[in-house]
Amino acid sequence: MRLEQLQAFLAVAETGSFQAAARQCGITQSTVSRQIRSLEEALGLPLFHRTAQAKLTIGGERLLPRARRICQEWQQASQDVSDLIAGKQSELCIAGIHSVCSHLLPPIITQFCQRYPEVQLRVTALGSDRSLKVLRDGLVDIAIVMHNPLLTSNLEMAVTPLYEEPVEILMAADHPLTEHQVVPWPLIAHYAQVVFKDGYGMQRLVQEQFHDIDAELKVALELNTLDAFRGVVRQGDMIALLPRSALTDCRHDSALAVRRTAAPVLMRRVVMVTTQDRLQIPPIQQFCSLVETLAATTFESLNEPSTLLAAS
């Protein structure tokens, strides 16, 4: 059973004539007759009385309401897909790491909403692993996360590198490490650390760094918000290794201090991930373009030499 057979059936039922049905469908009368015969053969009973006027048989009467619903559903489905291609979608869902949601996305959201006022944006701050999971599950359209080739190697995924930035040390203003403008890793390893919870890319990045330098990572506390990091570090000797963009507000807090690490400098890579099919949808294309453009300009200035000196 094919859709065009049902459409021919409905046209004959509505017009009472094979010839009129052919005109309505824009096909020949012989084609209509062939489609009706094929449908009758598939169902195993006649659908019309072949008289001066084509009238429904009892089988045709039973098929009629279901054929209408099938064709209406197909018409609605076709319209929905056409609307999607034309950029008419009700919402756009984004998942991103906390520093991206708090610093990179706000101006992008403003620009996007001006261009697509009918699209409702939903932004959720999650760890990298969780963001990629909800993307794979189809719950969000775009994930902005720390780079993890193991989770984005699927050919279905479209991965766009956004920026790299150094990881720096957050500490209390009176912490002993503030004596150093550039802190050696053995001294960093001496102090207890506040880290992101499991499933966050930053925890994995820090753990790998300590493994590479053959040092012990002394985890004292696991958190998942930047405000919590600032509050805990402000109170005592614990320190936190965080990306530079997450430390912007901390530089203006007299109770906190930020220092660079000695070589090897730990770098965080941030990427934008969506799926190949979603990149065909205009609002998603536009949002991705805005993110890519703003990330390039924002982090180019953030990593300029003058900025690096000011950060120390």
> What CATH number is attached to the domain comprising 273?
3.40.190.10
**What CATH number should be reported for the domain holding residue 11?**
1.10.10.10
CB 312 within 8 A of CB 260: yes
Please indicate, yes or no, whether residues 104 and 237 belong to a single structural domain of this protein: no
Please indicate, yes or no, whether residues 216 and 232 belong to a single structural domain of this protein: yes
Domain membership of residue 9 as a residue range = 3-85
Is the model more confident about 102 or about 179? 179
Q: Report percent pLDDT > 70 for the chain.
A: 94
pLDDT number for residue 79: 75
pLDDT number for residue 46: 94
Omega before residue 264 within 30° of 0, cis: yes
Identify the domain boundary among 85, 115, 150.
Answer: 85
Please indicate, yes or no, whether residues 81 and 101 belong to a single structural domain of this protein: no
Please indicate, yes or no, whether residues 175 and 145 belong to a single structural domain of this protein: no
Local confidence band at 76 (pLDDT 50, 70, 90 cut-offs): confident
pLDDT number for residue 300: 67
Based on its alpha-carbon atoms, the radius of gyration of the chain, rounded to whole angstroms, reads 31
Interval 185-211 mean pLDDT: 92
Identify the domain boundary among 56, 85, 114.
Answer: 85
Neighbouring CB atoms inside 10 A of 173's CB total 11
pLDDT number for residue 302: 53
How many structural domains comprise the chain?
3
Please indicate, yes or no, whether residues 259 and 299 belong to a single structural domain of this protein: no
Local confidence band at 65 (pLDDT 50, 70, 90 cut-offs): very high
Distance, in Å, from the CA atom of 257 to the CA atom of 145, rounded to the nearest integer, reads 26
Q: Is residue 115 within a helix (H) or strand (E), and if so which, with residue range? A: helix 105-115
**What CATH number should be reported for the domain holding residue 174?**
3.40.190.290
Identify the domain boundary among 57, 85, 113.
Answer: 85
Please indicate, yes or no, whether residues 103 and 234 belong to a single structural domain of this protein: no
Local confidence band at 301 (pLDDT 50, 70, 90 cut-offs): low
- 110: CB partners within 8 A, 6+ apart: none
Please indicate, yes or no, whether residues 198 and 248 belong to a single structural domain of this protein: yes
CB 60 within 8 A of CB 22: no
Please indicate, yes or no, whether residues 97 and 150 belong to a single structural domain of this protein: yes
Please indicate, yes or no, whether residues 26 and 73 belong to a single structural domain of this protein: yes
Please indicate, yes or no, whether residues 70 and 24 belong to a single structural domain of this protein: yes
pTM summary value? 0.72
Please indicate, yes or no, whether residues 258 and 169 belong to a single structural domain of this protein: yes
